[in-house]
Amino acid sequence: VIEIPLELGARRYSITVGHGASRLLPDLLGGLAGRPALVVSDRRVWSLHGRRLGPSLRRLGAREPVLLPGGETHKSWQTLGALLGTLMRSGLRRDGLLIAVGGGVVGDVAGLAAALYMRGIDWVVVPTTLLAMVDSAIGGKVGVNHARSKNAAGAFHQPRAVVADPELLATLPDRQLRSGAYEILKCGVIGDRALVRSLVEGPASPRDWSRPALENAIASAIRLKAEVVERDERERDLRRVLNLGHTIGHALEAVTRYRRFTHGEAVGWGLLGAAWLARERGLLSDANCEAITSATDRLGPRPSLAGLSPEPLLAAIARDKKVRTGRLTFVLPTAIGRVRVVEDVERAEARRALRALTAVDRSKRPRTR
């Protein structure tokens, strides 16, 4: 197994990556074992993996899991409220431990419940999607959506441990796997050339990556995010670099009401848009722009941009909470493994980038005869 420390002084914790790691929870959690524990998961994850995880969780002292309804629409106040009610009825006290087993939705809701219950109890995460392993489970951001706004309410509440077991990914649909792979590529473009090289040289589909290749890709992405979080836990400045591909990505998700793209697919499109913008500004060479484009496309097909015009996307970008001034903020790649936060992107520039994306997309779609 690979162990990655997240250094946050007294709140330091370890992120473990390894095939089979989820069956070794009692050993990996060391000092946390033996405390009253409650597992929170979703129905789908538990029906697929409950049997495998049960014994190791029971050895930890956990009782029957609390199963949340799955899916982004349930990352809500209602789910959070119901979970807090269950925690109260369970009699869990301040010394209790909450164990989140699932994708980003379970992690975000359970983490926020852990942050709020009795003003904060300890929690650990066992992410079960690739996206959760490399992104949502790392860094302590937790939250729920409001009907009108994604991640409208949340907190920073670091877990005490993260255990990422790639064996759990065997049951994950291809699209979900690719979704995580786009985030891994994003991490490489932000700051890990070797990671990008390994993605380009290995099999295209994450399904075909060897065990060590998968573990290494996950660990490299986590290392990058962990380093950024260590230096800027509360997203004052540096942590913004992690939003590479997310300015356009979030807008694509919002205008399609989170139905057309998975998060990673939207980030894949956003990565291309950022590379194009950077090249137009003379910040990125043609060769590097082309390398980022082909590395992105290699990960597989993304749902098309058909029917999406620039104006609603621009409006969505401007509404995004990450916008600080009248002009738009973008994270732009300046090389493979290096990015810069640019705060003065004109709407017209962004519009051209969006047009370029739709043109690329159209040229790739098979013509209807």
Could you say which residues in the range 262-321 bind ligand NAD, by CB under 6 A?
263
Could you say which residues in the range 327-346 bind ligand NAD, by CB under 6 A?
none
Is residue 48 a contact point for ligand NAD (CB under 6 A)?
yes
Within 10 angstroms of residue 51's Cβ, the number of other Cβ atoms is 9
SS3 154: strand
Rounded CA-CA distance 323/341 in Å is 12
Pick the catalytic residue: 150, 239, 281, 322? 239
Axis crossing angle, helix 310-319 with helix 347-364, rounded to the nearest 10:
130
Is residue 168 a contact point for ligand NAD (CB under 6 A)?
yes
Residue 263 annotated to the active site? yes
Is residue 70 a contact point for ligand NAD (CB under 6 A)?
yes
Comparison of 158 and 288: residue with beta carbon closer to ligand NAD: 158
Of these, 80, 108, 250, 260, which contacts ligand NAD (CB under 6 A)? 108
Residue type, position 242, single letter: L
Pick the catalytic residue: 74, 75, 160, 263? 263
Q: Which residue has the tokens 């929870």?
A: 25
Task: Give every strand in the sheet of 122-127, ordered side by side.
Answer: 2-6, 13-17, 161-164, 122-127, 97-102, 37-42, 66-68
Residue 145 annotated to the active site? no
Least distance to ligand NAD from the beta carbon of 107, Å?
A: 7
Is residue 246 a contact point for ligand NAD (CB under 6 A)?
no
What phi, psi does 36 have (nearest 5°)?
Answer: -55, 125
Q: Which stretch binds ligand NAD (CB under 6 A): 25-33, 128-136, 191-199, 294-302?
A: 128-136
Residue 288 annotated to the active site? no
Is residue 135 a contact point for ligand NAD (CB under 6 A)?
yes
Rg for the chain (alpha carbons), in Å? 20
Is residue 197 a contact point for ligand NAD (CB under 6 A)?
no
SS3 369: coil
Rounded CA-CA distance 21/366 in Å is 43
Rounded CA-CA distance 232/226 in Å is 10
Element of type H or E holding 225: helix 211-231
Residue 141 annotated to the active site? yes
Rule CB under 6 A: which residues touch ligand NAD?
Answer: 42, 44-45, 48, 70-72, 75, 102-106, 108, 128-129, 131-132, 135-136, 139, 141-142, 151, 168-169, 171-172, 176, 179, 263
What amino acid positions are annotated as catalytic residues? 119, 141, 183, 225, 235, 239, 243, 246, 250, 263
